[in-house]
Structures are given as structure tokens and as C-alpha cells.
Structure 1
Amino acid sequence: MNYFNYKRRLSSETRIGDIPLGGTNPIRIQSMTNTNTNDTEASAEQVIRIVEAGADYVRLTAQGVREAENLRNIKEVVRSKGYKTPLIADIHFNPRAAEAAARIVEKVRINPGNFVDRVKTFENFEYTDEEYALEIEKIRAKLIPLLNICKEHKTAIRIGVNHGSLSDRIMSRYGDTPEGMVESCMEFLRICVEEGFSDIVISMKTSNTVVMSQAVRLLVQCMDKEGLSFPLHLGVTEAGDGEDGRIKSAVGIGSLLADGLGDTIRVSLSEDPEYEIPVARKLVAYIKERENHPEIVAEAYAGYSPFDTSRRETYAVENIGGENQPTVISDRSNGNFELNSHFLPDYIYVGKELPLAAPRAIPSIIDVEGWKNGKNTYPLFTSVNYKEIKGNAATIKFLRLSYAELTEEVLSLLKEDTTIVVILTTSHVNGVGEQRAFIHTLMNNNCKTPVVFNRGYKENETEDLQIKAAADFGTLFLDGFGNGIMLQNEGSIALKSIDAYMFGILQASRVRTSKTEYISCPSCGRTLFDLQTTVALVKEATSHLKHLKIGVMGCIVNGPGEMADADYGYVGAEKGKISLYKKKNLIEKNIPSGEAVQRLVQLIKDNGDWVEPDNN
């Protein structure tokens, strides 16, 4: 992997109907219906809406053989209306449903965590080597018949690993880890290879962007060692809706696309599925702009590993760097000081001088030419005047630099003066690669200066800015780099919204929490309640609980597992009934849905995690 220069990984090609995946084919876009698969008309209509939005593939859930068999009727309706888009069946817990679907659709997704294994119990099991080997033989006995059907019908398979549904067998050996996700996949993949079956796609999904990024990279490394190069499906599960869902998806998926990984993506939003497609297309198009870019010359730091989640070591300059959480700097040089009280920046950049209207409670960064040694103000230097830093009395000196401006003299100054914070900017088409090059150069020279990442955009659409900024900044924060963020935009988007995006990117990258985090699934045919309405109700009741993660899950398949990272969970148990969880523990079962939000609030109160909202 080249950390600095974009080049897409060349995978093997997988046949999926008339739209092959991987190899030199474009990155494919897909989504999933949320209709009842037994409802032929509604499912076919939604498939068509998703296709018309621009999807290359459409997935439908098949809980049982009945749903799997009805895929034939859905397919006939879709094909009769002139749509040839490949259809995919999504299977959990039911090999017989997978076998039925494989005779009908172009691809079948199976989950190694529950294709053979029972429902995840979170119990502790110990397996001897002999017992473990017997478990693998159980997989072989169930998987080989499916492979034979797929060979006969030219049906592809996705081995779709979910962090939230690793089997007890995997958990016993590897725990709830990226390594466990990789081994869960490889158990199935090795059997496929032994059986001569190669129309395979692989996914490693989780709601945790750090774990997702690690797992995919570890999988690629593992496949490389075994001489395999199957295409990858990327997605962040339970990303949520609106701004949060877009930012979290762009952080997780974008960080992998930036490294050339990924052959198909699905942006999972708790919204109507056709709304996922434009988001996915924008993300892919943005990363594609980096193809054949001017070469970035840099030397990778030998001690850096893409599989390590530890952060780059820096010293602290007051509240920036060291063990401090990443800083948010808001560009207010246009004189607009309208702020969002929920997302107050740590610093504001005011430009050439300190305006009278600037809030004095927030530290101001001022161009050094207009800076006066006043309270709560700090100078900003550039590559033009950096020599003036020596002798300056400020306790923090901000220095705006690009990679090209990191000369030996500048590097020497950074190592000498421990009051400097770099604001690292870039105009390179592969800005991620160039900013990585800067950080690796610092590490190669044992320079521990804190670095704030700075990017500028020209966007008028909020979604466009969210996607691009999250993909750029998120990649670097997932690398373990960065002591702050400074997002600038020349378009018409409100500055207080941009501040919120910066906090959102830090939270999606799991480096700073500023609001309640919701882990909510995108809904599918298994969902047992109106997910969009329910998410809105849960948010209305709990959005002030910034210290909590709350899961809102449509069904039991991934619910308890994917919510294991959440503090509280709201999970569909059966039609009209909800179960409530504290961490992994089921607390209340089969609550009428009309009472469930109120009971969730009570559960939070009973456990001492409730605070009253501040209505000021």
C-alpha cells in the first residue's frame, strides 16, 4: 500500500449477472429494499426506484424459504418492466433460504456469524482444537451444497461479516476484534477456494469506523498472504440518518477508498433506500478525482502501521496536542460570529485583526501582522514570515504550512520551538496523501509538533461538503494523526453548520464526542417497526444526553451485537413489540411499541445516566 499516492487495488473479477464486479470495472453502487419480501408489488416498485436512482445492484432480505421463493416473482415483475439490474438475497440463520434464493437471484449474501451458528449468546465458551475443527466441518457441510447450487446457476456469493454477529466460536478464540472478523471470513473463504468457487465478494461491516477500517486492511493483508484478491464490498452498518449518517459513512468508506480499497459500496442510511444512492455516487466520484494525480514523494515512517489504532505522539501546547482531544478551529475571518451553542469551536480565526464583534470568551487566532499581545489571542504565521516566530511572546504560535513548505529550516524550527502548532493546509488533488506525507516526514525526524488539519472547499450543497470533508479529514484521524480540524468553505453554507460538521467528523472518527451517538440501522424487510419515525422519537427524547451511545435496531439479527458498543439499545422483538438493552444485556422484552420510548427513558434514569435537558 502506498500511503501517499492513490492507486486502486486490482482485485479478481466476480460475475454478478451482466454487471461484473472488481477487476478493472468501476466501483459499483448498491442499496437494499426495506419492504416485506413477500409483498411482490411493493418490493418490485422499490427495486425499480433504487435502480432509477442509479444503483448497480439491489439487495432484498429473505428471512425464510417463503421469502426466498418470492424473489422469483419480484424478479419477474422487475424484468418484465425492462430492468436487468442484478438482485441479491440477504440471508441470516437459514441455509435452506440461501439455497432457494441461489436458484433465483444473481447473488446471495451469507453471514458467517449466523449461517450455521445459532443466535449470538454472548456467553463464554471454550473450544478444544478438536471441538473447533468439528465446528469447521459443520460449516463445510452446510456451505458446500450452497456452493454447488451457485456453480450450477452462476450465482455469486457475498461473505458478509458483521462485527455485531460474530459467532461464539470466533469470540472464544479472538474476542470482539478485527482479527476475529477476518478469521470469521477466512473460515468460509478457504472452503470456497478448496471447492473451486471464485465468484465471491467480501464485506467486513461494523458501526465503528475504526474497527471497520482495521478489519478491511487486515483482511486484505491476510488474502495477500494466501494469494487471494477477491473484491471488497464496503459499508458502515447502522450509520444513522441525516448529517450523522452521511458523515459517518464518508469517514468509514472514504478512508478505505482513499487507499484504493473497495469495489462496491453501500451507504446505509436510516432513510428511504433510494436516498442512499446519490450519497454513494458522490463519494465514489470524489475519490476518483485522485486518479493519475501528480506524484507525492515521501518516505513512510518505518514505525507506522495501518493496523494500529494508537495516536501519533505529540507534546501539548496548552490545550492542543498531547493527551488533549482534537481542537476545532472555526474560520470567522469574514466577520460573521453567529455561533451554535451546542458546537462552540475551541478557537476562531478572525483574519487580519481582532474585530470588536468577536466573542472574547473564545480564543482568537490573528494574522501576526495585526496581532497584539492581548488576552486570549494568538498569532498566525506563514511560510513567508515564519522566521519572526523566534522571540515572539505568545504562548501558542500557529504556523500555517503545506507539505511543499516543510523545508529543513522550517523542520529545524519546529523541533526547536515547542510553542508552535502547525495548521497544515493543502491544495493537492490528493490532499489526504500530501498531508500524510507531511506527518510521516515529521515522524521520520522525531518531530512531535501538534498538527491541525486544514482543508478548503467551494461547496453550496450541505451534503457535498459533508461527504468530501468527512472523507478527507476522517481518513487522517483514523490513521491516528491530527490534533485538530479547521474546515473552510467558500460556498453559501452557514458557518455554524460547518462548525457542527467538524464536531461530527471528529465523533465519526471516534476521537472526540460532542453529542449523543445513535447507532441506527438502515431498515430492511426484517424491520419490525417504522424505523424513521422511531429514530426521530428516540432522538427527540434523548438528544441532550451527549455522554451516551444509543442503538435503534429494526430486528434481532444484528441488533444486540452491533449495539454492543452502545450504552442502551432499542430493538424490534416482534411486530409491534420492542426489547430494551443495557449494553449487551436484555432488560425488558416485548414492550408495546407505543410505550417503548418512555420505557427507554425510564431505563436510562434507573441506571443513573439521565440528566435533565437544558432548555436555555
Structure 2
Amino acid sequence: MNVMYCRSLTEYLRRQTREVYIGDLPLGGNNPIRVQSMTTVDTMDTLGSVEQTIRMVDAGCEYVRITAPSVKEAENLRNIKAELRRRGYQVPLIADIHFTPNAAELAARIVEKVRINPGNYADKKKFEVIDYTDSTYQAELDRIRERFIPLVKICKEYGTAMRIGTNHGSLSDRILSRYGDTPLGMVESALEFLRICEDLNYYDIVLSMKASNTQVMVQAYRLLAQKLEEEGLQPYPFHLGVTEAGEGEDGRIKSAVGIGTLLEDGIGDTVRVSLTEAPEYEAPVALMLIDRYTHRAGHKSIKPICNVPINPFQYFRRETQEVSNIGAQNVPRVIADLSRLSQIQYADLKCVGHLYSMLLDKFNMNDLGADYIYTGSQPISFMLPNGLKEIVDYPAWLNSENRTERYPLLTPEEYLSSAEKHAEVNFLSITIEDLSDTIIQSLKTDYSVVLIAQTANEHAMAELRKCFFRLMNKGVKNPVIIKRSYPDISAEQTQLYASTDIGGLLIDGLGDGVYLSTQDLANRAKLAWLEQIDQLNRLSFGILQAARTRMSKTEYISCPSCGRTLFDLQETTAMIRKRTDHLKGVKIGIMGCIVNGPGEMADADYGYVGVGKGKIALYRGQSVIKKSVPEEAAVEELINLIKEDNRWVEPVVPELSHV
């Protein structure tokens, strides 16, 4: 496949883009990857907006975006900017525009950049399917051109930059009718407006392709880069973001899966992490993602890829054979590393999602129960709960009394030289250097082997991807577990780095499981190990969910709040989560206003959307079911809606367990 979306799949190289000045702070070109965020205070609250902007800048934001839903908010940007300058803050401001071209035209005369959404700048979404002919479609483009040209001319006159920011959930009916709800539709939505800009010789443009679904988001950015290259358009810088990522751990994991996957291939010139939290908490996460690439260029070399066996613009899972419950159509599995514990006690399995009940004398597994545990050279001395399997080092397996109930982990040397193996499942630890012709030929006829792929290369995702490509090009169909270990970094860095390295592979359909190892971590007390194992186990399931490859819990598609928000998003999200976080696989959108309503939560099963002060609209998919529910009754009504669809289950009260 002809892949032009990045400069190299094996060498870390930044995508070469044109430089765009936003005020006095340039973006793209050879400049660092910039950090930005968006205020959540009402734009008419001048001092509140100024104080929050200052907190954001102090936290690391280099650009600050402020919503301007109407002309009055756009006009007040003048007061906000003046007060910031009076206090000595020169941060470039960006006006966020939806539905209101007149507000954009005013804001473009005041701030350094305007963001428009091509899905609703000149369109009012009616969710109608229209069979456009070529002539009627062109008539729509002519209408858009007439409406958009005034803004372009103002931006040229005032030296104002523009972001053409497509959102997956707010594609116009015109785009949906011709291209569908697809990455290609997202790209074409932006290109319609971009071609008008180029016709007018206006090039101070930044592009974005934001979605809550990480697969769609990554595919759209890649396709956009490819299309710009194919059509000979300018290499515009990209603004990266996973929209409505949510809060806490889940929001950070989801952001890293989407944003990190693109950064790995050198794509991205500015980053906004969208969390349902105060905006000053977003910048440190973005900085942590970006800083990883400051010195990446000197990584150990990886041989170029001659044949790309996947479609980077569409999800297909790598074809594998089934080995026990791994590979083929099985969900990706989770391996938890318990090898650093001296001996496992009953309570210790709680850290991998298996809780022992003394009352019933049995284990209960929660939704984050690991599928396999690795115990290294110290096999467990008691019977494991049903469904949990044990992996041990090959010498320990040979010395084990019960070899059928546990599986060996072999090195390549042990695999090639040992005659005695498990009859059904054998795990083989490999790096890309281990994939010799001898190993590959053996794997082609050995249907008991599950590979555990790992790397010590700093450019880890690229080398592991190369490993997968070699297996695919050689016709090897054994399942592969992705193993990563992160010594000497913080828990927050581990969260983001693992989400990037593993999530980036899963998004391309590569990987049949996750194995986050503790082997390279420093020694610590037993209690700290249990906490570490619990964190890594939750992280493993979180990555699988964020990459949309294994749904193990409720997913919340919640916007990060802005000046348009009509209720307390953080408080409401916490309240809805408390009532619904046991609904495995259900996706709930929580949107502060109608702008971020049915469109932005396009991927959700149910929606909770602010439509007025104290008023909530409830959605099933993109269809409004109840239009004006009092806020105090809305959560209960949401639950009733889920019950109507027979998707509600009563939460299980946990039994007392031995600790």
C-alpha cells in the first residue's frame, strides 16, 4: 500500500509542515509542538475568563481558546484580551465558533485565531439524508463559498490565523449523504473549506480531525495528511485532540491512545487534551505526552518497511489462529505480572480482579479480572479461580507437578532446543531480532504458540509494528501479546506511554493481548507491589477499551466544558458515573450544551445534554427522546430510558472478602 501520511514508519521524523503565526507565537515548521486548552468560564465574565486564562498559561498553555457563541461574546473577547495584556500576558487567543459566521467575522478582527467547524459554520444540521446530484451538490458548495469568503478576507486583512476543525459528530447532512459517517467524510468536510481558502491565497490555516472514537480520529488525521499530499495542497499543521475524552484515568488513557499514536509517526503540531476537569489540569498531560518526543530522533535504527500489510485508514484485525482463548475472534487478553511477589496469598489476587469470599469459599471475578497471571519461577501453590490461567518460566514448568494446569514461557533458545512442551499452549518471548527464518518456519506449523513481543527500543511502537508486519508478510498467524515495561518513570508517565505504545498497535488491529510487566521496576514493599499490579491491571483494560477492542466497563463521552456549558459538568458526570458505572459496554454521552450535543456524542448509546438553564434533553443515539427534563430528575429519567431498552442491570453489592 502506498503510505504517504508520515515520513517514515520506522524512523521518528516530524511531518514537515508550513509555519503559521498565531499572534507572535509560530506553529508548525521547525517549532516545538505547542500546548493549548480552552476556558470553561462564561465568556461574558471578563475577569473570570482572565483569571482562568492566567491559570492555564501558568500550567503550560501556549494558546488559549475561548468560546464565542454569539456576537456579544465575540465583542467581549476585546475586553478579555485587553485585561490580559494589561496584566502582562501576551498569550494568543483563539475564538471558538459554531453556527455563527457573524461572530467569527467580528472575532477575527480581535483575536489571533478563529476556529470554525465546517460541519456547522454554514449549515444547520437536520439529520436528513438527501440524494444530491452533482449539480445540487455543487450548488451547496457555491452557497458555502459565498458565506465563507467574508471571513477569509477578514482573516487575510487582520493577519488572523484560522483552524478548520472537523468534528466526527457534527458532519453536515451534505457530507453524510455523500461520504457517510466516515474518516473520508471528515476529511472532505475540511477540504471543502480549505480549497476556498487556497483559491483566495489564504494559507494561515491549521487543521484538525477530532473524534471521541480513537480509531476514527487516528484514521481521519492520517487520511487528511495523505490527501493533502496527493492533491498537492499545502502541508498545513495539525491540531491534535480526542474530543470528549472524559475525566480522570479514562480520559488520560483515551487521549494518549489517540494523540500518542499520531505523535509516534511525527504527526501533530499542537495538542489539546480534552478532560472533564478544570482546564489547567489539561496542559500538564499534554506536556507529558509531547516531552516524550523531545529526544526521540536519536533512537536505535529500525530497518525500513518494504511492504505495509495493513490499511492505515481502516480498521481490520490481524488474522490469527486460535490458541486456547487467545487470537482469532476472541477479545484481546490481559496478562498480569505477579512474578515479583514472594508468594501469593488469597487476598493478593484482588489486585488482578479476582476477589476471594470467605463466606462462600470461592473467588468472584470483577469486570477487570485478568485472564492470565505470570508468576515467573515461583508457581502458585493453591488452586486458581476458574477461568484464570497461570504462565511460568519454562524451567519452573518442567519442575512443576501439574504441567497441564499451567503454561510455559520459553525463550527462543528454549523453544528451538526443547522437545518437551505443553500440548496445547506455549508462550514464546520474542523481540524483532529473534524472528529468524528458523523461528518463522517453525511457527508456521506450530499451532500451540502464543508470541509475547517486546522491545528495548526507545521508538517502541514503531519497532513492535515492524515485528507484526514481518510476521504478516511471512504468513505467520500465531497470536501476539504486546509486552511493555517502563522502569524509572512515574505512574502518570506509565499511563500515557503504555496507552500510546500499545493503543497505537491495537488501533491498527495488531495485538491479541496486553502484558504490562513489573520485571524492570525497582524493588519495593509487598503492599506497594500490590498497588502497582492493580494500577497496571486497570491500565491494561483501560487501553483495550480506549482502543475500542475490548469493552469492560461503562464508557463516558463527556465534554471538557466551556463557556457554553449549562450545568456543572464535573459534578454531573460524577453523579451519572456513580449510578451507571456497572453497565459494562454502555456508552453515555454527557454534553454541556446543544453544540456539543447529538453531534459530538455520535458514538454514544445514550445522551444527557444541556438545552437550557436547569433543563436537560435525553437522547437514544442521536435521536432526542425527552426534550426538556428538569435537571433534578434527569439522571433518574436517563436510567429509566436505559431500562426501557433492557440494558439496565442492578449493581451487585460486593461480598465481604478476606483481606
| TM-score normalised by L of structure 1 | 0.98
TM-fit CA distance, 1:201: 0.2
Partners of 1:459 and 1:601 in 2: how far apart? 44
Aligned partner of 1:342 in structure 2 is 367
Partners of 2:453 and 2:396 in 1: how far apart? 21
The aligned amino acid for 1:162 is N
Aligned partner of 1:155 in structure 2 is 160
Aligned partner of 1:102 in structure 2 is 108
**Gaps (5+ residues) in structure 1?**
none
Alignment of 1:392-471 (within 5 A): 392-458=421-487, 461-471=490-500
Aligned partner of 2:637 in structure 1 is 599
Q: Are the structure 2 counterparts of residues 387 and 47 from structure 1 closer, same or farther at C-alpha, using a change threshold of 3 Å?
A: same
**Does the Cα contact within 8 Å between 1:254 and 1:287 map onto a contact in 2?**
no
Q: Please say if 1:573 is aligned against 2:599.
A: no
Deviations 1:383-415, CA, capped at 9 Å, x for gaps: 231224544233100001111121121112211
The aligned amino acid for 2:410 is F
Aligned with 1:187 (options 186, 192, 209):
192
Alignment of 1:168-567 (within 5 A): 168-227=173-232, 228-335=234-341, 337-339=348-350, 340=353, 341-356=366-381, 359-361=384-386, 362-371=388-397, 372=400, 373-458=402-487, 461-489=490-518, 490=521, 494-567=532-605
Aligned partner of 1:62 in structure 2 is 68
3-state SS of paired residue (1:253): helix
Deviations 1:284-304, CA, capped at 9 Å, x for gaps: 111334213221014343432
3-state SS of paired residue (2:564): coil
Partners of 1:393 and 1:381 in 2: how far apart? 11
**Does the Cα contact within 8 Å between 1:30 and 1:265 map onto a contact in 2?**
yes
**Does the Cα contact within 8 Å between 2:33 and 2:290 map onto a contact in 1?**
yes
Deviations 1:352-406, CA, capped at 9 Å, x for gaps: 1313257353100000101134343100001231224544233100001111121
Q: Please say if 1:35 is aligned against 2:41.
A: yes
**Does the Cα contact within 8 Å between 1:95 and 1:115 map onto a contact in 2?**
yes
Partners of 1:52 and 1:302 in 2: how far apart? 43
3-state SS of paired residue (1:30): strand
**Does the Cα contact within 8 Å between 1:421 and 1:449 map onto a contact in 2?**
yes
**Does the Cα contact within 8 Å between 2:171 and 2:186 map onto a contact in 1?**
yes
The aligned amino acid for 1:212 is M
Deviations 1:318-350, CA, capped at 9 Å, x for gaps: 111111110100000022534233311100000
Aligned with 2:627 (options 584, 589, 593):
589
TM-fit CA distance, 1:164: 0.6
TM-fit CA distance, 1:458: 2.1
**Does the Cα contact within 8 Å between 1:246 and 1:463 map onto a contact in 2?**
no
The aligned amino acid for 1:347 is Y
Partners of 2:537 and 2:304 in 1: how far apart? 32
Aligned partner of 1:11 in structure 2 is 17
Aligned partner of 1:116 in structure 2 is 122
3-state SS of paired residue (1:169): helix
3-state SS of paired residue (1:291): helix
Q: Are the structure 2 counterparts of residues 91 and 597 from structure 1 closer, same or farther at C-alpha, using a change threshold of 3 Å?
A: same
3-state SS of paired residue (2:25): coil
Partners of 2:488 and 2:575 in 1: how far apart? 31
3-state SS of paired residue (2:102): helix
The aligned amino acid for 2:416 is K
Aligned partner of 2:145 in structure 1 is 140
Partners of 1:443 and 1:389 in 2: how far apart? 26
TM-fit CA distance, 1:208: 0.4
3-state SS of paired residue (1:399): strand
Partners of 2:285 and 2:585 in 1: how far apart? 29
**Does the Cα contact within 8 Å between 1:379 and 1:394 map onto a contact in 2?**
no
Deviations 1:168-197, CA, capped at 9 Å, x for gaps: 111110111111001000000000000000
